[in-house]
Structure 1
């Protein structure tokens, strides 16, 4: 088993890369090649080589994820279907802190940021992960892991601008804390220019994001470690329809203690606090506080059973005030919700070094629907060192949120319903990984998902016959598809990653429902998507990364198919100084990626980086 530093991943062979440990599938380290899930690891070096400046743009580098940009700051991101600006079936975490908002069970992507150079890896599971990660991990899990403070020692200064950026700058410094501990502090600011309106002209959505944070990793003895980390941010977004800017701010704090035992077992306790404030200027203001505690224990019984057990408590309280009650409001404006959960997973070696069975389940009790049980069964069969077959059957749910139960639109034309229950999926998956030669590997997954109790309307929302229109669970359907990823290394200095995704969805209202628009609301994903990434070290001090993607049309949204080509060139002037140029959408002045009337423009920016 190989546990490599992320900075070294770019130089690993294919066989070594497949043995990199991942933790998202089972909450314990296991080789990627043997993992019984559709998992992909994006290492930090690939993010740096790409030159991207935000987490959503980094997610474009991951096969199987659908990333669509609406305007300068809004994204629709999902896996295996149901994409929208309020996509609610993808669990996203950063260093164990869940990033989803209980307002609509999705992610406000404009508020999620960190120093890109501090990301160690991003692990992505396509398919349900609810047996360990809980409700809302319906179609996938994104786990963003940042580097330890020990791996970010010394100083970093960075600045640049051009294209979509009026300018950006970042600073970081790391040092020692005591004899064995380490720390880092950072600050960054990013100023984005406006995108283009579909009818040509400035969209009037320029914005800026300022953030600072810290991380401290302390060694408390031979068996105990303690991590403390936190961030604070604020941003302002121009709104062409309002006389004042949207204002967003927040801060968070994570404390994580880990104890190791002589027999190899370990216990981990994590607590985080997350506070957010949003002022949307025309619709609502939100103040939210989240507290989360999780305890997990990993241990083995004999040589063939590895357990992970644990539980947690999560509470959130909010205050959502309407700025335009005739348009939108949440009633009541304040709410507190609590969730208690326990989970267990047993990984069994049925045939040593050959056949592994993983059984897991999570039980949750929440204030919306009460008890929820989410089990999964996975297997992996290691044919030999080069070939692995895996499969899984899982159940996952998306529990209701503030939008489902308490939203009121257009003065009561559309209202939430406290009887709205959880959406659910039964997912079937089968995958195959193979190292075809020393320079070529392939990873394939096929899936079939059956959805039930999906959110729908009691009537035709655009032409209602009966008011008010309510949210109900009258939607159902299925999705199936295939995902293929190829890695090719024709030379030590050249690496190629290619991927293709085909997916077909069939979502409809159940017999007797008055909702005639559910297909348009839920089927917002391309049938096919093709991507290609080339990393080429032209010289020891000069590297090039080229990225191209073709995305099929979104017919229900009136979005045409498009091709985008990005290019990043990095010149290492010295061991401590780098100059880079990043171009995106180079062969297309502007194109639409989702609905909303905005288009993504061609952009070229430069960057200066100094390590000291």
Structure 2
């Protein structure tokens, strides 16, 4: 699978090299060389990250690639939601199914099924258990509550279990200890943008508590490719309560509670397969969403070398999606249901033939016999009666997770992290599962870090999981880091990861029932639609193997950090098929391979200026065309943040990708802000954000269109 040496033409007039382009070398070359004093001088003030191994480590010692989005960068970006922040992460592909349905993939793969990233909020997974996806537009967290986001770019099943196949996004919220006082914020702008936020901190006996309320609203895209209004607005309201208690000098107790409710518009575009022109019933199938969570974390410092952490949380996702639909009575006939069970493809051919006046399509004798019966029913008028009823696509998913983690320094040079956990997932849906489906997962994990002398670090870890629906798995990782100094390190990493097929892929029992039928069907007020689907129940776990070499360095004299990596990742036994009742054929038949390089630079070149650059070159091959659509060979971002003094600041960001689902994406964002210091410690922040598309193409899909390429919104914030 070696790529050819010659370039390929991806779009008219646009050549993309099949090798790592010179622009990557140019990006690296802009970083000024550090002085010898900086490069070879020990320092104790080395920043630390946590997400890679669950151990606090210097970035140069991490067994993989990390991107950290700090609070200053998050605010300067002007982003309203987390997917937009992911554009700052090299190799992260951000797309949109509709204005209220964003997708985030690392390096790409299927444009509609973003299922291979683990997403954590304060250690709590928001990866939905039944339909196995991350509902990015419905995350129960406000941007204003986020302290930092650590992104581990690469497989990390070793630390976080199955579903961390391609990477981990770990979102950490502000501690109540660090968010004293009152904060208010309101934003409004084009496209129906109306966001608000309010928080209040309370000092408790040996602790702190923060209550935050927030809401978000916008109108999505303006129209589709035919100029029709696009029904994809969204509205969300959230409440979060977070507290930290210092029980004594060695014990800390943290707890959180949150709830979210909102709605997302969805167009209902179903058309009768056999009788064109039948009324559709409702014009929409909107979703009403409600989420709840509660978490508790207890930390015990036994001594400076030994600590324990116990975390337990429970979550619930409710999605109410019900509407009225109409079809011809033939859609509820046993003959059509039997024919569909034999061959969905033949039903498609039959429907096309009937609506286009063509003869009965060829098939097996049983298929043709059933097809003839359906034609006769329609010809006699028995199957042409319009029937309307209520459809229920409601789902309720829940998760309970508890985990005990032990961190022990065996010697000055040897650290061991180990833990065990249990998770119970369940989903309840009459349409998708005919009731309730559940799963239980046991896990045990360990990570060993061995400092061999002054410069070498050998790290190894493994995760064992017992998944009741998918079986056992054991995933390892081995890494060798060479530290020139604590701030400069080279790394070589090999890791394996798995993704368990979700309940919808493997265990679905998809039957669409219409209730309150008018008129009745065979004397009944309820009937099942002919199209059904059942999961194979024998899907295997997807397997990823990753090889990476890289460098991470922090040049303290210049205020510059740099991370570079070259990678070779492969995923086998991929499940790439779309999960649609009309074409439900999931199988472990596909594979994908990614090769390339990434770089990121963060340069604070003066007390008032910060430059941040990211770039990814991804060369890929995939067995399924569906996995070839959301990978840009060249993508990246560039940002310049400047403090002008007297409360004025600005930030200018460029985002670009040469092909997302065959469409180019380029955008320039400008944020200008002014902070006013008022009396008694009160401050007022006024900001405006302008987003300007530099291309004239749809966003990911051809129907995602806006009337203007420009988006403008303003915000006002008060702190006291």
Q: Please, what TM-score do these two structures have when normalized by structure 2? A: 0.75
Segment of structure 1 superposing worse, 433-442 or 493-502: 433-442
* Change in CA separation of 1:411 and 1:498 when aligned onto 2, cut-off 3 Å: farther
What displacement does 1:126 show? Answer: 0.5
Deviations 1:465-501 (A, max 9, x none): xx98632212123211110112333432111111110
Specify the SS of the correspondent of 1:59: helix
Kept in 2, the 8 Å contact 1:165–1:605? The answer is: no
Q: CA deviation at 1:64?
A: 2.8
Deviation at 1:72, TM superposition (A): 2.2
Is residue 346 of structure 1 aligned with residue 448 of structure 2? Answer: yes
Give 1:225 shift.
0.6
- 8 A contact 2:89–2:614 mirrored in 1: no
Q: In the alignment, is the contact (CA less than 8 A) between 1:69 and 1:75 conserved in 2?
A: yes
By how many angstroms is 1:201 displaced? 4.8
- Could you tell me how far 1:145 is from its partner in structure 2? 0.5
Report how far residue 411 of structure 1 moved. 4.8
Do the aligned partners of 1:86 and 1:107 also contact (CA within 8 Å) in 2?
no
Name the SS of the counterpart of 1:60 in structure 2.
helix
- The Cα of 1:34 is off from its aligned counterpart by 2.4
**Match for residue 545 of structure 1?**
651
- 1:529 corresponding residue in structure 2: 635
Work out whether 1:481 is the aligned partner of 2:596: yes
Q: Which has the higher strand share?
A: 1
1:522 and 1:607, CA in 2 relative to 1: closer, same or farther beyond 3 A? same
Q: Deviations over 1:576-605 (max 9, x none)?
A: 1100001123556x6423236213653111
From 336, 353, 359, the equivalent of 2:460 is 359
The alpha-carbon deviation at position 415 of structure 1 amounts to: 4.3
1:403 match: secondary structure? helix
The alpha-carbon deviation at position 385 of structure 1 amounts to 4.9
C-alpha distance after superposition, 1:514-567 (max 9, x if no partner): xxxx2234542111102101111122411111111111124xx4x321211111
Query: Contact (CA 8 Å) 2:621, 2:628: kept in 1 or not?
Result: no
Match of 1:578 in 2: 685
Alignment partner, residue 388 of structure 1: 489
Whole-Å separation in 1 of the counterparts to 2:118 and 2:321: 24
Aligned to 2:563: 443
Q: 1:338 touches 1:366 (CA, 8 Å); kept in 2?
A: yes
Q: 1:280 aligns with which of 321, 327, 341?
A: 321
Q: How many residues of Structure 1 are paired with residues of Structure 2 in the alignment?
A: 571
Range with bigger deviation, 310-319 or 165-174: 165-174
Q: Does 1:598 align with 2:704?
A: yes
Output the CA distance in 2 between the equivalents of 1:530 and 1:209. Answer: 30
Where in structure 2 are the equivalents of 1:73-472 lying within 5 Å?
Answer: 73-178=100-205, 180-199=206-225, 200-241=227-268, 242-243=283-284, 245-281=286-322, 284-322=393-431, 330-352=432-454, 354-385=455-486, 387-407=488-508, 408=510, 411=530, 415-435=534-554, 438-455=558-575, 470-472=585-587
**How do 1:10-25 and structure 2 match up within 5 A?**
19-25=46-52
**TM-fit CA distance, 1:281:** 3.5
Q: Could you report, residue by residue, the CA deviation over 1:87-107 in whole angstroms, capped at 9, with x for unpaired residues?
A: 111111000100101234320
Q: What secondary structure, in the 3-state scheme, does the structure 2 residue paired with 1:598 have?
A: coil
2:331 counterpart residue number: none
Partner of 2:606: 491
Post-superposition Cα deviations, 1:156-181, rounded to whole Å, max 9, x if no partner, equal: 11112011344222110001111x20
Structure 2 residue matching 1:562: 3-state secondary structure: strand
**Offset at residue 299 of structure 1 (A):** 0.5
What's the TM-score, normalizing by structure 1? Answer: 0.88
CA distance in 1, matches of 2:606, 2:713: 29
Offset of 1:285 from its aligned partner?
1.2
Higher mean alpha-carbon deviation, 95-104 vs 16-25, is at: 16-25
Distance 1:456 1:111, change over 3 A: closer
Uncovered stretches (5+) of structure 1, i.e. residues with no partner: 1-13, 323-329, 509-517
SS in 2 for 1:45: helix
**Cα distance between partner residues in 1 of 2:87 and 2:498:** 26
Contact 2:144 2:197 (C-alpha < 8 Å) held by counterparts: no
User: In 2, are the aligned partners of 1:363 and 1:371 still within 8 Å (CA)?
Assistant: yes
Over 4 Å off, 4+ runs: 14-18, 408-415
Secondary structure at the aligned position of 2:80 is classed as coil
- Aligned residue for 2:158, secondary structure, equals helix
Query: What is aligned with 1:608?
Result: 716
CA distance in 1, matches of 2:620, 2:44: 33
Instruction: State whether residues 118 and 152 of structure 1, in contact with CA within 8 Å, keep that contact through their aligned partners in structure 2.
Output: no
CA shift, 1:268, in A, is 0.3
CA shift in 2, pair 1:561/1:522, >3 Å: closer
More helix by share: 2
Higher RCO (CA 8 Å, separation ≥ 6 residues): 2
Alignment check: 8 A CA contact 2:91 2:636 kept: no
Structure 1 stretch displaced more, 443-452 or 267-276:
443-452
Q: CA deviation at 1:69?
A: 2.7
Give the whole-Å Cα distance in 2 for the aligned partners of 1:243 and 1:303: 63
